[in-house]
């Protein structure tokens, strides 16, 4: 039966489809960290919608609120008109998230996607500064529309633009060249030398941990120096927290413990709580010089997502959730380090921060094989990095110990199986 | 109470917010063509989410399907993995929409917004042809991300980019210069003269009726000649049916009666049925040369929207719905013509096609005043055009005669009131 | 012997060489309107360095001045230091050319080429207005460096850039679409409609008669309206008089009789008098906001050219030269009209103004054949237009009646020969 | 009298003029390494037309040849028709320069300026590779037209473009960040990492010694590694030898001793021998895929310059000239090192190679003061570098010991005077 239904996609859907190729089955149900396909097979979800399902699938509290709202004929679609759920979200977000962190950002609702919040941030930075260039970083990923793609590093994705991508300069991310080489010394020379060919940009945009780019976690000192450089030159600092935010690295914002205050923050993915499309752009109040409607979009007011987003914020009313993540993420990292140590044939390196971790293998194609093997064994896991060299552990933040343990087991078995098969071939 | 709640938006939301300024109240409920605010005041919705609510608010059938799905823990978020609701949507869309119209498009799911389907179409056209330029048309509107904005005409919106918008050439839309001037003769001269400075483009992108650009309906002959020109020069024809599609002009696709077959079709807004974020890009099968993941996005698989989208297609299983629209749209147009005739001080012109109509007034600022007045009287209506010179009638396609009549009455009263007030001032 | 020497070019010079292919002989001497090759064969020069030799080859007066200067060790190269010949040129140009015409332009010396004066003009226009776009016109030719190429229409030349050419919009030149269609109505609609996708540009750049583009002479009314449009919208008007200036159309500046005053004028080619590299950019004094060295170039002070340029201005001390040109150019045009009338198989049209004229033939390839035939008979003549459909009469302005008559004879004989040969083939 | 004549420039010439401000007198005569102004004051020329006068002013042999040619009515202007002097130049250049160095470049004549040869090189590199980007280096200077300016580092000059400069990436030149930091390790990481945001470019363009950028001489190992990187990635290597070529660094081509073979070489300035405008682009034969006329220009055949260029090549018929330069350049460098040592208040560093040397002073504004002082004392000398921090010794290569000694004396006196004056102020 699955076979039949997979054919529908082959026949009717565009060749651009991708994840349905890595995970070739038709999914029907999901709950927490589990998914089921139409044959009833159960999967552990260590992918979590690439960070869109930090609270797991179909959280009962959010679900109840949403169903209730729908049954009462609450407004579904409203562009950016004022609605009760939007007011509620704004108020709760301010009370639960911003105020306790001493933040006073204005909230903008661009179209409900990550690429859209990035586009809005770039536009605003250019408007505020009157400059055209943006500095982005190697292996950064910010989206697939032309503005966001221009600050994305991946060559395959950039080539897809079909036009030269302009008005951006890529600088080396932390440890891009080697552990010892100071990439910010390099960057700053370009800014301070009037003959460098690099203009003072409107903004720098970065992820504190690069998800798509290969689970690269920038050191706190590096991020702090980036902020200092931005301040020194009057450059806006945009943190794209679409994937690293909402608890993924241990705190609501990925930069909280770094001690920096970005001028603009891009959020999407898990901000909607239950996987519904939503994005917000947080703006330092004095930079909020938008003219009304200067950036807009039909679905910028997704009321269903406001309902679930507001409900999701209850996770952050005290520090329990955060502590849980931080506690458990140590276990995850230990597991990865053990795997790297126990299986030297992996030529692996544990990478990342919080629940945004993985193992980079220097063996060509190995990470993909491990992920494929894991899928066979009932675990969904993605690869990332410029050569798909990293297999990525991205479970929901709400996963329990049982789920984690079971996941670890499958991953280790998959590693063993792949290495075993390899040995057979090479010996 | 409303006052209190509007303050939340002023305090916490970015200055970019716009419709909440034109319609300054907090909405709570909606059903069919009606909306209610928190004070219980009822409004007729002649705006319909700028075309995202063609089936009205909270259609009971769609609503029931959606609630049922949620209660059963159906997959909510799945990137572009294969899911049962997606299969169902693909199959139904093929059976109910494509096949009966002799169309064999492949369906692509870009991010769930109009701008995203446009960006995907432009990328694909450039990839297929190996060319960089796109021809767009005066007063076209295609979205707010840099790629889509580059083919959008509006100066205010373009300026918001903060960078020069490139790789596009704007040609005059039907009747842009004057009724008598043949804009396609111009366009074709540019293509055929090797010294024109205009390269043969990858594609032309257009709306058959321009919504944001001032309710300009291109004549069928003009559209047919555009298609011929595209064929002659090997240029792809992209129809952006985001706003004009899904019945808005009387047929599912706005181009059905024109007798043209675009190479790529962009759809969003009402494709999701109930106002949930969804977008699709329809691609001539031989042009579907995407590499997997060459364009992607976190919310390209919005399963809630698949459920309501599939449910919405039942409207199209026979020709009843279509006939209703076509019948009733004549009444709407007659009403507009009568208003123009009866109120010469409007200096008005009835414009548009189907349920995508309005009155352009040559009196500066008048259209906005009529819309504001209508809002006071309980009707929601938008203005459009480069100088907001058109007030736009955009009711749900499911509106009944009672709703229409009541709407007409409010509009006529508003026109009277505005003209009356004006007379007082000028006399 | 010629054969041997042509081989040197084939072996050692790049494939980019072009005129030596149309005129395959090695030239050694020249005087007035005559050239000789190494076999002593004489040629009438109806090409005049594409307008760089308006005073003919090796004018005795200029030559004497130059030799004298060299023998006295006058400064040859000086970047833009102050030198006596430069002072002399500035003073004479002001006294003989600018003042009598009530013009008060500041004189800028960019690099000594046409493309360089155009690049300087575009930079300055962008600096003065703070805008980025330039409007150029179909079949305009302004140079081959990226800035100037961006405002050049020819597709083959544009493609040579290897990158998309940006920040420019091409508008239709006078009579581009057809005689009856008003191209400026079109242009102005784009400027006045805020949804046109065309920004108010920094400048418009145009030739009053397009040389490379096919000898298209804009009507005076058209040029006057362009100036009015520029004034209305605060757009700078740049006239590229590189080819049409210095008497080529009957007056020193091609726009004198039109009654317009461009904001910036680009001059090169014959400004140096004897064919030595020189270019000047004339700037309305209040626009001369250059910072020192903001545009520069190693050869912007070519003192040899200052000597010959100053000497050449003696032609303009009274109106004799001008009257001669105007008188004789009537004869030239009459000749062309007669040829068109007498040889209907040419499907020809006489085009142009002054000594910048030619016949456009609708018969594919015919113009090139006539030019080749003329070369065999001892007359040098170029073709132009997007399809090389025009053969161009471009004799020195100093040509006498004998030279003209002889030239006419060769041209008529060439036309006859080509048409005769054609008849043989087609009959 | 001088005063009167300087006024002519103030009144009639554009504000863009620059060197006439640093050297405020009107020059009339020049011979070898000497110049005289209209008051008869003599100057030593340690500027040499920024490298355009490597053979000094008005070399008697070249002068004689040129006068003879003019008196015989040799062709002056010929676009790119075949002429005897061009054949002679091609042959001599091949025999005297290319063949003995085992080079087989094809010779292209772009317009007669440095910026034009660079523009032609970039176009060809893009055509050959089908790629759009060019990698240039910090503090590189390649010209002022938009294409060449895009690969130029200087912020002030780039800003003058008035538009974003595109399709280029700036990489750090040798020692840009610090002595110890390996800039090519950075560069190569960007090329090898598919997520770096930097595409494989069509070409890299560089000067082996940067003149305008501050007399930065790249180490030979660095240049060799650049060539290796280019080969590894199929990138064309363009050496811009406009300023560093023609003996300036000790050999005809600046890269001869480095042991690299660029794919394209740009030459201008001294190639014409006597300071007459000329430029050539040397092209690896298999890359010479230009279509005829794909790049052109009115003055690409400057026959006067062919005459003097051919005459100048006699300097290279044996190795005497080269040895002289190399010998004497050691003396120059020793002098600079002594000055740096003897005057620590200069906070100076000797820089450069051959006759392309200078002292960089860390004291703000000091280099300009030394140059101004030297002018007062009868020596012409330029400053360079992003902050004009270097005073540049650029005498003709033909200077004799007497000239050098006198120059050294003036420079040392100027340094003393400036430092003395400074002491007075600060003590």
Same domain, A276 and A375: no
**What residue in A sits closest to D151 (Cα-Cα)?**
A197
Q: Contact, C326 vs C249, CB < 8 A?
A: no
Q: What is the pLDDT of residue C427?
A: 56
Rounded to the nearest angstrom, the minimum Cα separation between D220 and chain B is 40
* Angle between helix B303-312 and B84-92 (nearest 10): 30
> What is the 3 state secondary structure string of D355-376?
CEEEEEECCCCHHHHHHHHHHH
* D347 Cβ contact list (under 8 Å, min separation 6): D361, D362, D363
- Pick from A166, A195, A386: which is nearest to D193 by CB? A386
Does position B3 have pLDDT exceeding 90, yes or no?
no
Tokens of C320: 């004799």
**What residue in D sits closest to C243 (Cα-Cα)?**
D298
| Contact across the interface for A73 and B156, Cβ inside 8 Å | no
- Pick from C177, C197, C387: which is nearest to B153 by CB? C197
Residue C170 neighbours by CB distance under 10 Å: 23
- Pick from D70, D109, D242: which is nearest to C66 by CB? D70
Domain end: D270, D299, D316, which one?
A: D316
| Contact across the interface for D26 and C295, Cβ inside 8 Å | no
Q: In this structure, what are the phi and psi dihedrals at residue C416, rounded to the nearest 5 degrees?
A: -55, -50
Sheet of strand A390-393: strand arrangement: A348-353, A356-361, A390-393, A382-384
Rounded to the nearest angstrom, the minimum Cα separation between C343 and chain D is 31
Question: What digits encode the pLDDT tens for the residues D295-319?
Answer: 999 999 999 999 999 999 999 999 9
Chain A residue numbers touching C163 (CB-CB < 8 A): 164
Same domain, D210 and D124: yes
Chain C residue numbers touching D14 (CB-CB < 8 A): 106-109, 281, 283, 288, 290
Rounded to the nearest angstrom, the minimum Cα separation between C285 and chain A is 28
Does position D238 have pLDDT exceeding 60, yes or no?
yes
Which chains are within 8 Å of B by 3+ CB pairs? A, C, D
Residue C406 lies in a domain: no
Rounded to the nearest angstrom, the minimum Cα separation between A257 and chain C is 43
Q: Contact, C217 vs C352, CB < 8 A?
A: yes
Q: Smallest Cα–Cα separation from D80: which of C117, C141, C16, C276?
A: C16
Domain end: A316, A343, A372, which one?
A: A316
Range of the domain at C332: 319-390
Same domain, A120 and A139: yes
**What residue in A sits closest to C162 (Cα-Cα)?**
A164
Rounded to the nearest angstrom, the minimum Cα separation between C305 and chain D is 10
Question: What digits encode the pLDDT tens for the residues B6-23?
Answer: 999 999 999 999 999 999
Q: Smallest Cα–Cα separation from C4: which of D91, B21, D327?
A: D91
Chain D residue numbers touching C275 (CB-CB < 8 A): 76-77
* C93 Cβ contact list (under 8 Å, min separation 6): C107, C309, C310, C313, D12
| Contact across the interface for C163 and A163, Cβ inside 8 Å | no
| Contact across the interface for A57 and B77, Cβ inside 8 Å | yes
| Contact across the interface for B163 and D163, Cβ inside 8 Å | no
Q: Smallest Cα–Cα separation from C408: which of C326, C332, C352, C329?
A: C332
Same domain, D236 and D96: yes
Q: What is the pLDDT of residue A181?
A: 85
Beta strands in C70-172 (DSSP E): 106-108, 134-137, 168-171
Chain D residue numbers touching A196 (CB-CB < 8 A): 138-139, 153, 155, 170, 176
Q: How far apart are CA D384 and CA D376, in angstroms?
A: 19
* Angle between helix A220-233 and A183-192 (nearest 10): 0
**What residue in D sits closest to B130 (Cα-Cα)?**
D130
Question: pLDDT-based confidence at D1, cuts 50/70/90?
Answer: very low
Residue C204 lies in a domain: yes
Tokens of B354: 């189907």
Q: How far apart are CA C209 and CA C352, in angstroms?
A: 7
Rounded to the nearest angstrom, the minimum Cα separation between A361 and chain D is 16
Chain C residue numbers touching A132 (CB-CB < 8 A): none
Same domain, A221 and A232: yes
Q: What is the pLDDT of residue A179?
A: 82
Residue A396 lies in a domain: no
Q: How far apart are CA A81 and CA D65, in angstroms?
A: 83
Rounded to the nearest angstrom, the minimum Cα separation between C78 and chain D is 6
Residue B57 lies in a domain: no
Q: Contact, C124 vs C294, CB < 8 A?
A: no
Tokens of D314: 């006699």
Q: What is the pLDDT of residue B425?
A: 64
Which chains are within 8 Å of C by 3+ CB pairs? A, B, D
Q: What is the pLDDT of residue B424?
A: 66
Same domain, B304 and B189: yes
Q: Smallest Cα–Cα separation from C144: which of C172, C175, C176, C111?
A: C111
Same domain, B167 and B130: yes
pLDDT, average across residues D399-418: 97
Q: Smallest Cα–Cα separation from D381: which of D9, D6, D22, D20?
A: D22
From first to last of the 427 residues of chain A, give the pLDDT tens digit.
456 689 999 999 999 999 999 999 999 999 999 999 999 999 999 999 999 999 999 999 999 999 999 999 999 999 999 999 999 999 999 999 999 999 999 999 999 999 999 999 999 999 999 999 999 999 999 999 999 999 999 999 999 999 999 999 999 999 998 888 889 999 999 999 999 999 999 999 999 999 999 999 999 999 999 999 999 999 999 999 999 999 999 999 999 999 999 999 999 999 999 999 999 999 999 999 999 999 999 999 999 999 999 999 999 999 999 999 999 999 999 999 999 999 999 999 999 999 999 999 999 999 999 999 999 999 999 999 989 999 999 999 999 999 999 999 999 999 999 999 877 666 5
Q: In this structure, what are the phi and psi dihedrals at residue B301, rounded to the nearest 5 degrees?
A: -120, 85
**Residues lower than pLDDT 70 in chain C:** 1-4, 424-427
- Mean pLDDT over the full length of chain B: 96
Return the H-helix or E-strand segment holding B115.
Answer: helix B114-129
Residue C46 lies in a domain: no
Question: What digits encode the pLDDT tens for the residues B279-336?
Answer: 999 999 999 999 999 999 999 999 999 999 999 999 999 999 999 999 999 999 999 9
In the 8-state DSSP scheme, what is residue D330? H
Q: What is the pLDDT of residue B1?
A: 46
**What residue in D sits closest to A385 (Cα-Cα)?**
D195
CA distances from A354 to A48, A140, A348, B341 (A): 14, 19, 18, 68
Same domain, D297 and D356: no
What is the interface size between B and D, counted as CB pairs within 8 Å? 3
Rounded to the nearest angstrom, the minimum Cα separation between A166 and chain C is 11
Q: How far apart are CA B215 and CA B359, in angstroms?
A: 9
Residue B276 lies in a domain: yes
Q: Contact, B149 vs B114, CB < 8 A?
A: no
Q: How far apart are CA D240 and CA D237, in angstroms?
A: 10
Chain A residue numbers touching C164 (CB-CB < 8 A): 163-164
Q: How far apart are CA A175 and CA A170, in angstroms?
A: 14
Q: Smallest Cα–Cα separation from A215: which of A57, A71, A391?
A: A391
Q: What is the pLDDT of residue A425?
A: 64
Counting other chains too, the contacts that D327-333 makes at CB distance below 8 Å and 24 or more residues apart are D328/D355, D328/D399, D328/D401, D328/D404, D329/D250, D329/D353, D329/D354, D329/D355, D329/D357, D331/D404, D332/D357, D332/D393, D332/D404, D333/D357
Same domain, C368 and C256: no
Question: What digits encode the pLDDT tens for the residues B103-134?
Answer: 999 999 999 999 999 999 999 999 999 999 99
CA distances from A351 to A44, B416, D422 (A): 21, 69, 57
- Pick from A84, A276, A291: which is nearest to B76 by CB? A276
Phi-psi region of D388 (alpha: psi -120 to 50; beta: other; left: phi over 0): left
| Contact across the interface for B299 and A52, Cβ inside 8 Å | yes
Residue D48 lies in a domain: no
Rounded to the nearest angstrom, the minimum Cα separation between B296 and chain A is 7
Strand, coil or helix: B359: strand
Rounded to the nearest angstrom, the minimum Cα separation between B422 and chain C is 26
Domain end: A295, A316, A337, which one?
A: A316
Chain C interface with B: residues with Cβ < 8 Å? 132-133, 136, 138-140, 151-156, 158, 164, 166-170, 172, 176-178, 181, 185-186, 189-190, 193-199, 213-214, 385-387
Q: Contact, A166 vs A173, CB < 8 A?
A: no
Q: How far apart are CA C241 and CA D16, in angstroms?
A: 21
What is the interface size between C and D, counted as CB pairs within 8 Å? 373
**β-pairing verdict for B134-137 and B209-210:** unpaired
Q: How far apart are CA A86 and CA D353, in angstroms?
A: 68
Number of domains in chain C: 3
Q: Contact, B357 vs B332, CB < 8 A?
A: yes
**What residue in A sits closest to D154 (Cα-Cα)?**
A195
Residues facing A391 on adjacent strands:
A359, A383
- Pick from C58, C123, C292: which is nearest to D17 by CB? C292
Q: Smallest Cα–Cα separation from C5: which of D75, D90, D107?
A: D90
Q: Count of alpha carbons within 13 Å of D171, Cβ hemisphere only?
A: 24
Residue B51 lies in a domain: no
Same domain, B114 and B221: yes
Residues facing B211 on adjacent strands:
none
Which chains are within 8 Å of A by 3+ CB pairs? B, C, D
Q: How far apart are CA C225 and CA C222, in angstroms?
A: 5
- Pick from C176, C195, C214: which is nearest to B139 by CB? C195
Q: Contact, D234 vs D207, CB < 8 A?
A: no
| Contact across the interface for B196 and C155, Cβ inside 8 Å | yes
Q: Count of alpha carbons within 13 Å of A288, Cβ hemisphere only?
A: 22
Which chains are within 8 Å of D by 3+ CB pairs? A, B, C
Same domain, C20 and C87: no
Same domain, C295 and C383: no
| Contact across the interface for C166 and B164, Cβ inside 8 Å | yes
**β-pairing verdict for C27-31 and B390-393:** unpaired
pLDDT, average across residues B222-237: 98
Q: DSSP secondary structure string, A125-157?
A: HHHHH----EEEETT----SSHHHHTT---HHH
CATH code for the domain in which residue B164 is found: 3.40.640.10
Question: What digits encode the pLDDT tens for the residues B38-84?
Answer: 999 999 999 999 999 999 999 999 999 999 999 999 999 999 999 99
Chain D residue numbers touching B163 (CB-CB < 8 A): 164
**β-pairing verdict for B356-361 and B348-353:** antiparallel
Q: How far apart are CA B87 and CA B74, in angstroms?
A: 13
**β-pairing verdict for C106-108 and C280-283:** antiparallel
Q: What is the pLDDT of residue D179?
A: 82
pLDDT, average across residues D376-387: 95
Tokens of D345: 């208040």
pLDDT, average across residues D368-396: 96
Q: Contact, B83 vs B310, CB < 8 A?
A: no
């Amino acid at each position: 039966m699955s076979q039949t239904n997979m054919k529908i996609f082959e026949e009717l859907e565009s060749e651009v489809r991708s994840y349905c190729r890595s995970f070739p089955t038709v999914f029907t149900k999901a709950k927490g960290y589990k998914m089921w396909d139409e044959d009833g097979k159960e999967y552990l979800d260590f992918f979590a919608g690439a960070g869109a399902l930090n609270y797991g699938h179909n959280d009962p509290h959010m679900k109840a609120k949403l169903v209730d709202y729908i049954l009462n004929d609450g407004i579904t679609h409203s562009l950016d008109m004022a609605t009760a759920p939007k007011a509620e979200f704004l108020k709760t977000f301010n009370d639960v998230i911003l105020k306790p962190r001493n933040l006073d950002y204005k909230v903008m609702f661009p179209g409900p996607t990550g690429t859209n919040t990035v586009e809005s941030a770039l536009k605003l930075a250019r408007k505020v500064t009157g400059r055209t260039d943006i500095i982005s970083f190697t292996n950064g990923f910010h989206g697939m529309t032309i503005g966001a793609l221009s600050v994305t590093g991946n060559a395959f994705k950039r080539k897809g633009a079909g036009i030269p991508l302009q008005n951006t300069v890529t600088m080396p991310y932390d440890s891009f060249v080697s552990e010892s080489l100071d990439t910010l010394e390099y960057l700053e020379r370009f800014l301070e030398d009037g003959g460098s060919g690099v203009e003072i940009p409107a903004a720098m945009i970065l992820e504190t941990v690069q998800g798509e780019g290969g689970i690269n976690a920038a050191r706190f000192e590096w991020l702090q120096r980036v902020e200092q450089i931005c301040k020194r030159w009057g450059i806006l600092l945009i943190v794209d927290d679409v994937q690293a935010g909402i608890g993924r690295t241990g705190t609501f914002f990925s930069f909280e413990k770094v001690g920096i205050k970005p001028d603009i923050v891009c959020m999407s993915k898990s901000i909607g709580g239950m996987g519904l499309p939503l994005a917000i752009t947080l703006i330092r109040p004095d930079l909020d010089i938008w003219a009304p409607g200067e950036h807009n979009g039909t679905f910028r007011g997704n009321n269903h997502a406001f309902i679930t987003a507001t409900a999701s914020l209850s996770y952050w009313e005290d520090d329990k959730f955060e502590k849980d993540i931080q506690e458990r993420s140590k276990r995850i990292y230990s597991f990865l380090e053990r795997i790297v140590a126990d299986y030297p044939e992996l030529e692996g390196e544990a990478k990342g921060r919080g629940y945004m971790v993985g193992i980079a293998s220097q063996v060509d194609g190995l990470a993909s094989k491990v992920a494929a093997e894991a899928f066979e064994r009932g675990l969904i896991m993605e690869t990332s990095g410029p050569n798909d060299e990293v297999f990525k552990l991205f479970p929901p933040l709400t996963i329990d110990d049982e789920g984690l343990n079971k996941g670890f087991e499958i991953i280790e078995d998959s590693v063993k199986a792949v290495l075993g098969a390899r040995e057979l071939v090479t010996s």
